[in-house]
Amino acid sequence: MKTRDQEYRELFMAEALEYYDSMSRHLSELERNPNAGPALNELFRLMHNLKANARAMGFTDLGEVAHHLETLFGLIRDQERTFSGALIKVVFAGVDALGNMIRAVGADQALPDATALLDNLDRLVRGEEPILEEAEAAESEEESGKKMELSDLVYIQVKKLDNLLNLVGELVIDRDRIMTLAQEIGNPALLATAQHLFRISDDLQYSVMDARLVGVGVLLNKFPRVVRDVASTEDKEVELILSGQDVQIDRNILQIITDALLHLVRNAVSHGLETTAQRAAAGKPTVGHLTLSALTERDDVLIQVRDDGRGIDTEAVRRKAIERGLTTAAAALDEQGVWALLFEPGFSMASKVTDISGRGVGLDVVKMALDSLGGQLRVESQLGQGTTFTLVLPTSIAVKGALLVEVEERPYAIPLMHTDTVLALQPEQISVVGGMLVTHVQGQAVPLVPLQMLLHDEGDELLPFADKADMTGAQQVLVVNYNNRRLGLLVDRFIRQQNIVIKPLSKPLDTIDLFGGVTLLGSGQVCLVLDVPALTRLFLTKRP
């Protein structure tokens, strides 16, 4: 894997070579027409950008030449100098020098000496005649003419990558279909060809997915300024710590969670961290610490926002939830269940909640972004010690691991990200409490509901009271997890686990919340992908 320095260096080289080519083109145009304003403005802009990029990368000599040329072009633009005479030769020599320096950077060599060039540029800026050495100038032009290089990188529009990935998704679906047919027919030659197609398409799929990966640092590195601004507004002292910028993730996922992460960071500084006086009174260091980190966990990417602030006042949140009538069961919820209420739409709108709990302003935005990706949110908090929000994200949105289950002879796919465990429960391991089926998993009471009942639910009526009188034999239960809530789904049988390519539902089916999309199995069967967040919300709304 490339280091961050290598990645930045390659990006710098790609941009610098592009700038160099543009400079040469605009310079030739300016020579033909000294009054070409657009070419002059473009040269000024290119010099300015190259200067900034070179200095940021530590190539100060290169940045210095670009800076001198930028100054000279500024004078030409302001009509204090004219693009004529000896100035033309010096400027061309300057651009050639930039080209040599860029190539030296690419070859990891020492940058050529530009003292004489800088001296001549200074003379031109002062309105003096430069000192030209014809032999050196001719040699320099000849040398630059021999070296023409293309960057190893190409720029590509994200929508082209999206389209390519979509086509690969179609190919993978057909591949699975051909593989299944080959196995059914049993022809050795067809089976060998299908297996070869499987390997090739698999490599192609991961190559395209890899091309879409970017370092999380692309997003995290924008936050020092955000934290600084919010801390300044709140009159707080905050030290931001970044880590894991090299962790790779699909660019589109990073784009989708940008607003959610921005919200969490602002919330952590504004409400999570105390003021300097409050921290001093609590015996804490006056400077609050906020950590933004990325790491990988199996096939997922975890982005954490951790502060050492006041933490979540669970009981205060519980009281507020009961006052607002969000749930009558708030009194019976455990700590995680109470914290989950912070992400309910509307809960965060009450300003008093912010004052009491220090959390809860618009956090439903975060949950909505994660739901759209099939991600999860984990919350850890200790009163007086701080809070950690962990965004659990898929590496790619193109392919998802899923568990296939069957209900009434129809297959359904449930993303693995939301699956917790599978159980085979005997009727005596299931209880009826408050009209709901309940079992215990790892010491926690988990409600159970037949998946078929949720899928066929219509109208506003509550689900019927549960009755286990008809239960015979082992009951197949898939425990799903969403927003720290567990729900057991009773299914007819488990089929298998496999990677699926999810395609969006077309109209009018795309308005059905319970389905997150559709996929095609190798058997040719259309398989609906269940939306676990929507199923959980439906159960919470309809439970008796």
Average pLDDT over residues 80-89: 87
- Phi, psi for residue 222 in degrees, rounded to 5: -85, -10
Q: Poorest-confidence range of 103-107, 117-121, 426-430, 519-523?
A: 519-523
DSSP reduced 3-state for 82: coil
pLDDT at 345: 66
Cβ-count burial 84-119 (b if 16+ within 10 Å, e if not) = eeebeebbbbbbbbbbbbbbbbbeeeebeebeebbe
Measure the CA–CA gap between 278 and 128, rounded to whole angstroms. 63
- pLDDT band at residue 346, thresholds of 50, 70 and 90? low
Q: Is 179 in contact with 193 (CB distance < 8 Å)?
A: no
Q: Poorest-confidence range of 2-16, 36-50, 101-115, 491-505?
A: 2-16
Measure the CA–CA gap between 130 and 138, rounded to whole angstroms. 16
Which range in 27-31, 156-160, 335-339, 437-441 is most confidently predicted, on average pLDDT?
437-441
Average pLDDT over residues 507-522: 79
pLDDT at 364: 76
Token duo for residue 168:
């690969």
- pLDDT band at residue 279, thresholds of 50, 70 and 90? very high
DSSP reduced 3-state for 35: coil
Measure the CA–CA gap between 502 and 468, rounded to whole angstroms. 35
- pLDDT band at residue 386, thresholds of 50, 70 and 90? very high
> What's the number of CA atoms in the CB half-sphere (13 Å) around residue 335?
10
pLDDT at 355: 39
Nearest to 210, CA basis, from 2, 480, 346, 396: 396
- Confidence check: pLDDT of 289 > 80: yes
Higher pLDDT, 407 or 211: 407
Measure the CA–CA gap between 28 and 506, rounded to whole angstroms. 53
- Confidence check: pLDDT of 413 > 90: yes
Task: For helices 86-106 and 134-146, give the axis angle rounded to 10 degrees.
Answer: 40
- Confidence check: pLDDT of 193 > 80: yes
Nearest to 532, CA basis, from 518, 513, 519: 513
DSSP reduced 3-state for 153: coil
- Confidence check: pLDDT of 377 > 70: yes
- pLDDT band at residue 328, thresholds of 50, 70 and 90? low
- pLDDT band at residue 360, thresholds of 50, 70 and 90? very low
Q: Which burial class, exposed, middle or buried, applies to 268 when counting CB atoms under 10 A from its CB (0-12, 13-18, 19+)?
A: buried
Higher pLDDT, 430 or 173: 430
pLDDT at 307: 94
pLDDT at 65: 93
Q: Is 226 in contact with 190 (CB distance < 8 Å)?
A: no
pLDDT at 197: 92
Nearest to 362, CA basis, from 376, 373, 351, 370: 351
Q: Average per-residue pLDDT in the chain? A: 83
**What one-character-per-residue DSSP string does 104-138 give?**
HHHTT-PPPP-HHHHHHHHHHHHTPPP---HHHHH
Average pLDDT over residues 477-481: 92
DSSP reduced 3-state for 75: helix
Which residues share a beta bridge with 490?
450, 477
Residues above pLDDT 90, as percent of the chain: 21
What digits encode the pLDDT tens for the residues 130-161? 887 765 545 555 554 555 666 667 778 888 88
pLDDT at 67: 92
Measure the CA–CA gap between 451 and 466, rounded to whole angstroms. 13
What digits encode the pLDDT tens for the residues 197-240? 999 998 998 888 888 888 888 888 888 888 888 888 888 899 99
pTM strictly above 0.85: no
Token duo for residue 251:
């660019």
Nearest to 300, CA basis, from 434, 414, 401: 401
Token duo for residue 113:
């000496």
- Confidence check: pLDDT of 356 > 60: no
Q: Is 543 in contact with 447 (CB distance < 8 Å)?
A: yes
